């Protein structure tokens, strides 16, 4: 018996990296998982790799029509049980290279996308009297003020603030909303970007040595999606080896 048996879970941006690890862990814990990703081929490949009944469909979370289709497809008796908002664009852009188009693209996916999925999911959860769980993936870059990521840092700060506000509004319906804030994680995306050069510096700031792995984030996401976290909402959980201590 898994702690998420009988529940449906939607994980966005799960074709690779942290999202893939979360989808895999939720499935291993018993959830029927639907992966939503802009990369349709990658999402389907991820679902096949995980197995355990995981399915996948294309979803650009900045597109309201595609978001609605994803949330409806991941419903059980009128609503999903679990929503994990992981999809995001992670840029490496110095301040002098950031223009309005860049800003709006990052905010449109990383923050507005979270609004769209939460809007649809919480409407369905309340209509179905479903005490659902929402886990929004933020980032400890918000606390660190990481350079070369101004729009990203702003979007993730918005995710934290939005999660707090949404938790306050939907708590009376038994819906829990929390943010999970990873540190630098050794995922495919990071390893293929300039961020891969930051591990040495980041490790000096951590309380514990080592490079963070996607599976370490997935375990906390599964906890937040379970009844074990049933008396926990409106919180931001840092998972970064103690880089942020507060």
Could you report the per-residue pLDDT of 169-188, keeping only the tens digit for each? 999 999 999 999 999 988 77
Instruction: Indicate the number of domains in the chain.
Output: 1
Q: Is 140 part of any domain?
A: yes
| Among candidate residues 101, 82, 85, 80, the one with its CA nearest the CA of residue 37 | 85
Q: Is 245 part of any domain?
A: no
- Maximal CA-CA distance, the chain: 53
Q: Which domain holds residue 20?
A: 8-238
Q: What's the mean per-residue pLDDT of the chain? A: 95
CA–centroid distance for 90 within its chain: 13
Could you report the per-residue pLDDT of 204-214, keeping only the tens digit for each? 999 999 998 99
Q: Is 64 part of any domain?
A: yes
pLDDT for 137: 98
Q: Can 152 be counted among the known catalytic residues?
A: yes
Q: Is 246 part of any domain?
A: no
Q: Which position among 152, 179, 195, 238 bears the catalytic label?
A: 152
**Confidence check: pLDDT of 244 > 80:** yes
**Confidence check: pLDDT of 233 > 90:** yes
Q: Which CATH number characterizes residue 110's domain?
A: 3.40.50.720
**Confidence check: pLDDT of 3 > 90:** yes
**Contact criterion met (CB below 8 Å) for 172 and 213:** no
Q: Is 186 part of any domain?
A: yes
pLDDT for 59: 98
pLDDT for 216: 97
Q: Is 120 part of any domain?
A: yes
**Confidence check: pLDDT of 198 > 90:** no
Could you report the per-residue pLDDT of 73-101, keeping only the tens digit for each? 999 999 999 999 999 999 999 999 999 99
Q: Is 73 part of any domain?
A: yes
User: How many whole angstroms separate alpha carbon 227 and alpha carbon 131?
Assistant: 10
User: How many whole angstroms separate alpha carbon 135 and alpha carbon 138?
Assistant: 9
Which residues, 6+ apart, have CB-to-CB distance to 159 below 8 Å? Answer: 85, 110, 111, 114, 136, 137, 138, 179
pLDDT grade, residue 65 (50/70/90)?
very high
Could you report the per-residue pLDDT of 117-154, keeping only the tens digit for each? 999 999 999 999 999 999 999 999 999 999 999 999 99
**Confidence check: pLDDT of 246 > 90:** no
Place of tokens 């650009």: 60
User: How many whole angstroms separate alpha carbon 109 and alpha carbon 90?
Assistant: 10
pLDDT for 197: 79
CA–centroid distance for 110 within its chain: 10
pLDDT for 221: 98
Q: Is 102 part of any domain?
A: yes
Three-state secondary structure string covering the chain? CCCCCCCEEEEECCCCHHHHHHHHHHHHCCCEEEEEECCHHHHHHHHHHHCCCCEEEECCCCCHHHHHHHHHHCCECCECCEEEECCCCCCCECHHHCCHHHHHHHHHHHCHHHHHHHHHHHHHHHHCCCCCEEEEECCCHHHHCCCCEHHHHHHHHHHHHHHHHHHHHHHHHCCEEEEEEECCECCHHHHCCHHHHHHHHHHHHCCCCCCECHHHHHHHHHHHCCHHHCCCCCCEEEECCCCCCC
């Amino acid at each position: 018996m898994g702690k998420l048996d009988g529940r449906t879970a939607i994980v966005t941006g799960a074709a690779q990296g942290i999202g893939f690890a979360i989808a895999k862990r939720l499935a291993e814990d018993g959830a029927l998982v639907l992966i939503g990703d802009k990369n349709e081929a990658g999402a389907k490949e991820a679902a096949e790799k995980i197995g355990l009944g995981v399915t996948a469909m294309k979803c650009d979370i900045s597109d309201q029509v595609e978001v609605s289709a994803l949330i409806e497809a991941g419903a059980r008796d009128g609503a999903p049980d679990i929503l994990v908002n992981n999809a995001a664009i992670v840029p490496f852009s110095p301040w002098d290279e950031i223009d309005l188009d860049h800003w709006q693209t990052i905010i449109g996916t990383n923050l507005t996308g979270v609004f769209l999925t939460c809007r649809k999911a919480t409407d369905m959860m309340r209509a179905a009297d479903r005490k659902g769980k929402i886990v929004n993936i933020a980032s400890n870059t918000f606390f660190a003020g990481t350079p070369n990521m101004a729009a990203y840092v702003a979007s993730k700060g918005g995710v934290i603030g939005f999660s707090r506000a949404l938790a306050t509004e939907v708590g009376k319906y038994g819906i829990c909303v929390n943010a999970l804030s990873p540190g630098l994680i050794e995922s495919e995306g990071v390893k293929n970007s300039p961020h891969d050069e930051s591990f040495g510096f980041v490790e000096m700031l951590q309380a514990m040595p080592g490079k963070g792995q996607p599976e370490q984030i997935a375990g906390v996401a599964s906890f937040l999606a379970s009844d074990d976290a049933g008396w926990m909402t409106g919180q931001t959980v840092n998972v970064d080896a103690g880089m942020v201590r507060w």
